[in-house]
A and B are shown apart, each in its own frame.
Chain A
Amino acid sequence: MGIADSIYLIERESMKESILHSLDGRIKLILLTLIIVYAVFSTQIIVLVALEAYLILLIYLSKISFKTAFKRILILLPFSIFIIAFQPFIRPGEVIYILPFGINITYQGLMFAALLFSRIIVTLTSIILLSSISPMQEVVHSFRKLGMPRDFSMILSLMIRFIFLFYDELKKITNAQTSRNFDIFNKKTSYRWRLKQLGFTIMMMFLRSYERGESIYLSMLSRGYSDKSQLYSSLNKKIGKPEYLFVATTLLLVVTLQFLSVFIFPQIGLVGAYIK
């Protein structure tokens, strides 16, 4: 089914215990987002390679499975690869290879493709690491503590409790359909009929969710929920030595890389420095 299939995988990974798992949620969120922002900001492939190496080290420290993390990155790549694959042919610049039908490969295009690809790998590694070392609720609580509006974070917090349930319900429906030999991609039945079945599945899901929404509201109300209720978190952690260490190493890495890419890399004319 695709990306959503990994929900249980993510949850399992995020429940493991390691030095990274036990860090404060806000710190993890901020620092891994910082790495993503810096990766998007940087135009030098060597910087991205260094960031990726750092992230791989963190994955190693967090004891999450390399194989799982790598697989999750692979699933996410197709759309990006589609865009990246065009770059060598469409970007104007110094032609390094001439193909028939007037198609040329340019150096600039090739470098830009390599840059985009490295960025994608770094940012995806970062997000996969974040979701593997912090339970979803912890991330939402961190959002809330960092100032996300109450309504939005409460909706988010409730929603992630329900995606597991809904995912199971969808699986139940599709399993029931499969057990009756229904296959949505079976071309022997008419396309219209298949879409109709899909529409019914969606209607069923919608009604189940809507009615569940009403009953959840009532049960929340009966437990004292009101418009002024706040999100409660039992995940309060103190910021201690490991947090300071993590902040210090990450900041040091980013600052050093930026220093090198401004003052040192251009002078030694390093391969892989993409200049716009």
Chain B
Amino acid sequence: MHIPDGFLPLGQAAIYYIITIIALYFALNWAKENLDEKRVPLMAVLAAFIFAIQAMNIPIPWGTSGHMLGAALVAIVFGSPWAAVLVLAVVLTVQGFFFGDGGITALGANITAMGLIAGFTGFGVFKALKNLNRWVAIFIAGWASTFVAAISITLMLAAAGTFPLDMGLIFMGTYHAVIGVAEGLITVVAILAIQNVRPDLLPWNKAKSSPEVEK
């Protein structure tokens, strides 16, 4: 669902760039405070990881295929939506500048939708629902991050006058509501598997252990 060049007027593209730059400022600060010196290598390998899993085709019901976004996964595992913003921004920059996937003028819009909005939606939903049931919360977070990101892309295209809102909501909304199910399920399985293999990496387990043990 990457917006290509030419679908957004330059003025609007600039607004999304400004939002992206402000978001990245906060995301970089978050990384500096929470991950120390480790942040550069850690965020880099995670970005490479997201890049790789986005390259995987996943089967979705009704015979089509789509791909993962991974914003909710990163946000939940790191316990912060800023991690998703930073990682997705790097991934989208590489996809845009080296692979032509998503436009250069539209890069700000793509980072705003798939990094900022998807990351915050995923994390927000998880935080709101985690007390009911953690795994259901993760599933809905994964689903919502994809769905809301797709809706925000639709809104951007509608605001640009490129694609009408009603049709956009029907096509993009339905398609990504279905892809979202796969994203949600895979996010649950992946985090469940991490919980079994390296529980120490997950934020809710970190809180229980004392800081000395954690190091």
Contacts and interface: CB of A to CB of B under 8 A. Distances in A.
A213 B46 contact: yes
Contact of B100 (A73, A166, A200, A212): A73
Given A39-B6, A185-B59, A83 B157 contact: yes
Interface in B22-46: 24, 28, 31-32, 37-46
B4 interface: yes
B201 to A, nearest CB: 6
Interface string B46-77: 11110111111111010001011000010001
Contacts of B10: 37, 40-41
Contact of A158 (B44, B98, B103, B186): B44
Interface stretch (B113-121, B123-131, B160-168, B206-214): B160-168
Interface stretch (A149-157, A251-259, A262-270): A149-157
B97 A199 contact: no
A160 B97 CA distance: 12
Interface size class of B (residues with CB under 8 A): 35 or more
B192 interface: yes
Given A4-B99, A39-B6, A210-B46, A123 B104 contact: yes
A122 to B, nearest CB: 8
Contacts of B67: 2
A194 B56 CA distance: 13
Interface in A220-239: 220-221, 225-227
A203 B187 CA distance: 9
Given A83-B7, A90-B167, A151-B39, A136 B48 contact: no
B189 interface: yes
B48 A116 contact: no
A216 B45 contact: yes
A166 B99 contact: no
**Most chain B beta-carbon contacts within 10 A, residue among A151, A214, A220:** A151
A116 B47 contact: no
Interface in A141-183: 149, 151-152, 154-163, 165-167, 169-170, 174
A151 B40 contact: yes
Contacts of A221: 37
A31 interface: no
Contacts of B178: none
Nearest to B4: A80
Contacts of B5: 36, 39-40, 119-120, 123-124
- Determine chain A's interface SS by DSSP, over half rule: helix
B188 interface: yes
Given A130-B97, A152-B28, A159-B44, A4 B4 contact: no
Nearest to A117: B6
A210 B193 contact: no
Contacts of B104: 33, 36-37, 123, 127
A156 B189 contact: no
Given A155-B47, A159-B47, A207-B198, A195 B185 contact: yes
Interface in A119-137: 119-120, 123-124, 127-128, 130-131, 136
Contact of B38 (A41, A169, A213): A213
B98 A131 contact: yes
A202 B201 CA distance: 15
Contacts of A149: 24, 28
A95 interface: no
A220 to B, nearest CB: 6
Given A151-B32, A212-B45, 20 more contacts: A1-B55, A37-B104, A76-B99, A83-B7, A83-B157, A90-B163, A127-B96, A136-B94, A155-B47, A156-B93, A159-B45, A160-B94, A161-B44, A163-B94, A195-B185, A195-B189, A198-B186, A202-B53, A206-B49, A213-B44
Q: What are the 9 tightest A-B residue pairs by CB atom distance, in nearest-first order?
A: A199-B189, A119-B6, A158-B44, A4-B55, A203-B193, A123-B5, A162-B48, A209-B49, A213-B45
Interface of B: 1-2, 4-10, 13, 24, 28, 31-32, 37-49, 51-59, 61, 65, 67-68, 73, 77, 86, 89-90, 93-101, 103-105, 157, 162-164, 167, 182, 185-190, 192-194, 197-198, 201
